[in-house]
Structure 1
Amino acid sequence: MQNNINNIASNTPSALATNKVLRNTYALLGVSLFPTVIGALMGMSMNWGFAASSPILFMIMTLGGIFGMFFLIQKNKNSSLGVVFLLALTFLLGLMLGPILQVAFSLSNGGQIVSLAAGGTGAIFLVLAGIAQTSKRDFSFMGKFLMIGLIMLILASLANMFFQIPAASLAISAIAVMIFSGFILYDVNRIVKGGETNYIMATLALYMNIYNLFVNLLYLLMALMGNRD
């Protein structure tokens, strides 16, 4: 009996710390959606002709900006500057949604498709986050498989940039939906198990999962349901 009491007492601080990280992560994740939406609205009104005319240069510049933000967030993860850089990144990524949203809203049922993609992304996140929080199972074993899958996904995406095979694009997006859904389960469970104690880095991981899940789900719905009439 005494041992049980001691175990509970010793586990309580870590449980409280984990709950605090989770609460702060969800709060910052919610806040990060605002600059994303603002960026997306601005991106939809922009002319992206320069991206189409110089796709490789545009990709290099975009990736440089994104990875630069990753570096700044990592360096400032223990200060309020980390939050500032994270929100700046979410604005930039919202801006990058401009081209795909322009295509989506050019469809007669584009509004419905975007709503379905956003709702589907939210539903997937809530279900998987709930499972990760309530399940006693440790999902850390998924990390290696998800990372291998992500590397293969990136390589396949780069290859398809040159081959431009529509069926391959659909397959890549379908696999991406599964991989980033798996990452949501893995990352939330990692926070719950105490594997991630910094809420800024935890938010960054979950945000990137949600962002990529939304983009690929939107692409799939556009391909399967898009109506140009």
Structure 2
Amino acid sequence: MEQIRTVHSAVAQSAEVSRVLRNTYLLLAITLAFSAVTAGAAMALNLGQGAGLVMSLVALGLIWFVLPKTANSATGLVVVFAFTGLIGASLGPILNHYLSMNNGSGIVMQALGGTALTFLGLSGYALVSRKDFSFLHGFVAMGLMVMIGCMLLLLGASLFGFHLEVLSLAFSAGVIILMSALILFQTSAIIHGGERNYLLATTSLYLSIINIFTSLLHLLGAAED
């Protein structure tokens, strides 16, 4: 009898993991497409960097303060689309900046290709190997705090007219490493039952993808210059 219950529990857990994975990747694909639309609209409207920064801050406020309270309801889905739409629109000024450079379209395409290869490669490895990457939790948590601190430092320096280019490039490289670890950690958490909410999983993977993309844009743009 105990063995039967164990088998039923394992089957139920496997079905739940499959459901979360399916919903996460489906929603991730839809939100990325939605972000592309809002980014295109922002580019067409020629929104400035200031507007992009405001939208980014509003979007972060949504996932920090609103989504945790609504993640288990239909409202949470609306919050996710509001968040990804704002992030997509905030990319419009950034994309316009890089497209105005020599070989701008090539830089953007290389960044897109590099982001896709990174995400698909890391996710595929985590899914196929079934390795438990929960040991990355401490690194990811500490890395996110350091990332926020560096962002504030760079933003403050730019406001006072200081352009710390070397630190900025090192920051972009560090973000790519951190977001790669987050992809492994988040995918592993879904596989091993540590993440049951596909809205939270989607926003985590979405942020990883966007941060890798913008960091690659920065590094490739600097190399082109």
Shared fold, TM over 0.5: yes
What amino acid is the match of 2:222? Answer: A
| CA distance, structure 2, for counterparts of residue 40 and residue 98 of structure 1 | 5
- Cα deviation, residue 38, structure 1: 1.3
What amino acid is the match of 1:66? Answer: A
| CA distance, structure 1, for counterparts of residue 56 and residue 103 of structure 2 | 31
- Cα deviation, residue 138, structure 1: 1.4
User: Does the Cα contact within 8 Å between 2:119 and 2:180 map onto a contact in 1?
Assistant: yes
Structure 2 partner of 1:51:
50
Matched, 1:67 2:60: yes
User: Does the Cα contact within 8 Å between 2:59 and 2:84 map onto a contact in 1?
Assistant: no
Secondary structure, counterpart of 2:124 in structure 1: helix
Matched, 1:133 2:127: yes
Structure 1 partner of 2:215:
216
Matched, 1:179 2:178: yes
> Aligned to 1:142, which of 117, 123, 136?
136
What amino acid is the match of 2:26? Answer: A
- Cα deviation, residue 3, structure 1: 7.9
Task: Quote the RMSD (CA, aligned, Å).
Answer: 2.1
| CA distance, structure 1, for counterparts of residue 57 and residue 108 of structure 2 | 28
TM-aligned CA distance change 1:49 to 1:212, over 3 Å: closer
| CA distance, structure 1, for counterparts of residue 178 and residue 122 of structure 2 | 13
1:85-104 map, 5 Å: 85-104=79-98
Matched, 1:31 2:24: no
| CA distance, structure 2, for counterparts of residue 113 and residue 13 of structure 1 | 46
> Aligned to 1:81, which of 70, 75, 79?
75
Instruction: Give structure 2 stretches of 5+ with no counterpart.
Output: none
| CA distance, structure 2, for counterparts of residue 50 and residue 145 of structure 1 | 31
User: Does the Cα contact within 8 Å between 1:133 and 1:189 map onto a contact in 2?
Assistant: yes
What amino acid is the match of 2:41? Answer: M
Deviations 1:132-173, CA, capped at 9 Å, x for gaps: 112243111101112112211221222223042111111100
What amino acid is the match of 1:204? Answer: T
User: Does the Cα contact within 8 Å between 1:40 and 1:95 map onto a contact in 2?
Assistant: yes
User: Does the Cα contact within 8 Å between 1:196 and 1:202 map onto a contact in 2?
Assistant: yes
Number of residue-to-residue matches in the alignment: 219
- What is the TM-score with the length of structure 1 in the denominator? 0.87
Instruction: Give structure 1 stretches of 5+ with no counterpart.
Output: 53-57
User: Does the Cα contact within 8 Å between 2:70 and 2:76 map onto a contact in 1?
Assistant: yes
User: Does the Cα contact within 8 Å between 2:119 and 2:183 map onto a contact in 1?
Assistant: yes
